[in-house]
Amino acid sequence: MNLYGLIGFPLTHSFSKRYFTDKFIREKIRESSYELFEMSSLEGLPALLKKKTDLKGLNVTIPYKTEVISYLDDLDDASAERIGAVNTIKIYADGSTKGFNTDYYGFRQSLEEWMDKRGEKCSNFSALVLGNGGAAKAVQVALQDMHMDYKLVSRQQSDDSMMYEELTEEVMNSYLLIINTTPLGMFPKVEECPNLPYQFVTKKHYLYDLVYNPAETLFLKHGIEKGAAVQNGLKMLELQAEKAWEIWTQEENLWSV
């Protein structure tokens, strides 16, 4: 049996298990299964790898995308090394591990497809990136590679980010793409949303939420009320999942955007 799985905390509502289980059935992929390995501390990862000798790959979610790096034997130069965060681990026959980041691919591809369908070019936009966690790291590198100007927005004061209180009407008019990389609004806490001045959102704005459950978060609802274009994170998740599968099942360490 080829075993794959997801580590993180909490894992009460996992996209990955449902996605890969359906994929195995749909594509008639035999002797493969996908499990959830909820762990309150990454100290449990070495024991998991030792116990589950049939593990071929893991996905990594909140809050371990950055912390997990110190537990791995190697990092993929083109993705995880550049980004400083891991969401996919490949486990080799000798038990060694290598970290990759497929969030980059999923986000970039989904954003480019969304903009293209609306007759827009990504390079014409400046973006506000809400949050500074592991997902935000992948988003930043993708925006850099797409030659898009962006600004980080965080609840804490820092040299490389703005605070939500600094988002004036002028700032909001200058950054028409707003990307939520935080878990705010994710089920079951659907009443939460980033603390933006939504009164300054217009029909010219694009709101992209990495959250996929619910499909329409409060963040996106506020955008819809103002006539903005909106997209949730489902397409990104599907794309990053397929890239993870490609990494797990290929003999060579091929990486291509």
Specify the residue for token string 């988003």: 139
Specify the residue for token string 């980033």: 194
Task: Count Cα atoms within 13 angstroms, Cβ side, for 199.
Answer: 2
Are 240 and 105 in contact by the 8 Å Cβ rule? The answer is yes
Preceding amide of 214 cis, omega within 30:
yes
C-alpha 123/C-alpha 39 separation (Å) is 40
151 is catalytic: no
**What φ, ψ does residue 172 adopt, rounded to 5°?**
-65, -35
Q: Which of 71, 106, 105, 104 is nearest to 89 (CA)?
A: 71
Q: Which of 227, 228, 147 is nearest to 180 (CA)?
A: 228
Which amino acid belongs to residue 17? Answer: K
Longest distance between any two alpha carbons in the chain, whole Å:
57
C-alpha 195/C-alpha 219 separation (Å) is 9
The β-bridge partners of 37 are 7
Catalytic option among 17, 23, 50, 65:
65
Q: Which residues are catalytic?
A: 65
